[in-house]
Structure formats: C-alpha cells, structure tokens
Amino acid sequence: MKYVSRKALAFGLTGLAIAGLVATTATASSSKRTASAQVCVLLPDTKSSVRWVQFDAPDFAKALKAAGVTYMINNALNDPQKQLAQAQACLAAGAKVVVETALDNGSAAAIEKLFTSKGGKAIDYDRQVSGGSASVYVTFDGKAVGEAQANGIIAALKASGKYTKKPVVAELWGGQTDQNAFWFKSGNDAVLNPLFSNGTLSKGPQQFVPGWLATNAGPIFAQMLVKTNNKIDAAIAANDNIAGAVIAQEKAKHLSPIPLSGQDATPQGIQYILAGWQTGTVYKYVPDEAAAAAAAAVALLKGQTPKSNGYRMNGSKKEPTYALPVIWITKANYTRLFTDGFLKKSDVCVGDYAKYC
C-alpha cells in the first residue's frame, strides 16, 4: 500500500469537506472532472473519528477510480440536512448507487429510499440503516469488536492482579443514533454480563456517548467518577476518541491509568497504548472495507448481486451483510500497523512518545 502523508491528506480533505464535498467526480482513465457520477459516497463527519477523512475518503477514491466508475465522495460534517442535500446533488449528477454512512436512521433511510424509488440502489456502509432499503450492508464484525474490547480489559485486569477483587467496570458506548453502537455493545455484553451476574466483576456506570464525541464523553466519565468516588477499575471506551476523553479526565484528576479499550487504531490511541494509558484498540483495516463497498457498488451498477457472507436483521427482514474481521492491537503487536501501511511510524513515535517506540 503506497503511503501518503496523513497530515497532508487530512489537511487537504478536511478543507474540501468544509466546502461540502470531499471529492467530486473522477474516472480511472482521466483525472478530468465531469458532470456525472455513477456512485455517491456519503460519509458522516470529521469529528467522531479521524478515519472518515484520513482513510475512508481516499480509500474509496482509490477503489472506485481503479474500477473505472465515476463518483462523488461527500462528508456531511455531522449535519443530516447537509447529507440529504449531498444525496440530491448526486442524483442530479446521475448517480445510480448510494453508499450511505448514516448520521441517524430517519434521514439515512429517507436518502436510501430517495435512490431506490428512482430505480437506484443503496449500500449500508459501516453503519446499518434501520428501515432502509439497502441491497447489502458492508461493515466490520461489530460483535467481534465488542468482544475484543471486553476480553482486552479482562486480560489487563488479570495482569494487574485486580481481577479477583470484583473490580468495577464502567462502560461508555457509542452514539445511540448509530446502530453499530448497539452491535458493539452486544459484544461487550456477551463477555461482561455473565461476569457481572456471577459477581466476578462489579457493574459500574454505563452510558451511551452522543455523537461519539470526546466533548460529550469527558463530562460523562467525570460524572461516573463522581458517582463512584473515583472507584472505577476498568472501562470500556467504544473508540479511541472516547478513550482519549477518559484519559484526559484521569490526568486532570491525577488518577492512575486503568484497563481501557478503544477502537479505530488512531495515532493518538496507539500513543496512549505505548504510554500505558490505554490497554488496546480494535484495528479495522479500512481499505478492505472501502474496497468491499466499492466492489458492491460496481456489482449493483452491473445488475449483479453484491458479495455477502451472512445476514444482519433489519427490523423483520434479513439484510445481506459482508462482515470483515477485526484485530485487537496492544503494545505486543502495534507495529503491524506500520507494516500494513495503515499508520506511519513517524505519526506515532514523535515528541514525548518517541521514547516508547
């Protein structure tokens, strides 16, 4: 995988996202912009995770360009109305397939039906759209994400010697408007709930974090600390963004690090893992997900059935799903992120963190 500077990429893409369009149309044979697009990619925001700008947008562009189809890649900046306007612009440009990462189920379902009612097709990307009309759901295995997080903090509790002392485990799940938050939670629950029930672990405060935002997670975890008199021994953080907010509260209150999960394998998340503030993060190789969704879009354009390897229930119906595997990253295996080209060593091993590499 050819490396492109993440800082340069993030700067350029964020600037375009603010203008409302991360990428306009392109083809594999020419970089000349055209007036039409066959595929419309709708990404959610720039703040819930760095992935949308640094990985998904360029990875989609690469995959769709290689497939020889025209496309528009948009970022809604966490605004459902902006996403709807972007979808309408795609339709006006001739798009026949929409790849939707939902901001909320209502607006996302309306966008998918806007396409399918006109003979187009829809793909749920990374987040399932309840009540939508997608032909396939392309994602990472959400339950496996939650299980990896829970097993990761349990292993850390055992290593610390606290596992036999009924440690208090708090949980900060993702945003409730994202169906993935519930899927990840199901994996957390599958591992932790039996241990809460038999008294091995003590159930601490639990709460969803609106919008997955660190600005919401910080105050939530601060209240959890107040509620427990700072007696939280481990925490599930649904992603690195939320984990960072937990760590900020711990540092502000001069508390010691606790076993703490994450997700997305961000540079900051890896830095916190190396420094001992975060236990691990769920690694999802986004280029594979974007490539799978791009392949599904091309199949739909050709009137073919997209690849799937199972189903996810969407209301009362089964939605064909292509679920990709995930990997738990810790100090023991973090260098594979560099080997895979997902991150560059210079993005992580800098400043105060260089000494840990």
> Residue ranges per domain, the chain?
6-134+285-324, 142-283+329-356
Same fold, 6-134+285-324 and 142-283+329-356: yes
Q: What is the pLDDT of residue 225?
A: 98
Q: What does the pLDDT read at residue 186? A: 98
The fold adopted by the segment(s) 142-283+329-356 is Rossmann fold (3.40.50)
Cα dist from 212 to 178, 180, 209, 243, whole Å: 9, 11, 5, 11
- Averaged over successive runs of 10 residues, the pLDDT of the chain (357 residues) comes to 40 38 38 68 92 94 97 97 97 97 95 96 96 97 97 98 96 94 97 98 98 96 98 98 98 98 96 98 96 98 97 94 98 97 95 96
On whether the CB atoms of residues 246 and 204 are closer than 8 A, the answer is: no
pLDDT at 27: 36
Confidence (pTM): 0.81
Angle of helix 6-18 relative to helix 57-67, nearest 10 degrees, comes to: 90
Name which of 354, 272, 317, 270 is nearest 128 in CA terms. 317
Q: What is the CA radius of gyration of the chain?
A: 20
Residue with tokens 């963190």: 353
**CATH architecture assignment, domain 6-134+285-324:** 3-Layer(aba) Sandwich (3.40)
CB 326 within 8 A of CB 145: yes
**Do the strands 121-125 and 136-140 form a parallel or antiparallel pair, or are they unpaired?**
parallel
Q: Find out whether 43 and 86 touch, Cβ atoms under 8 Å.
A: no
Helices and strands, counts by H and E, the chain: 13, 12
**Cβ proximity of 319 and 313 under 8 Å:** yes
* pLDDT at site 287: 95
Strand, helix or coil for residue 170: strand
pLDDT score of 8:
41
Tell how far CA 178 is from the center of its chain. Answer: 10
DSSP lists the bridge partners of residue 202 as 168
pLDDT value at position 227?
A: 98
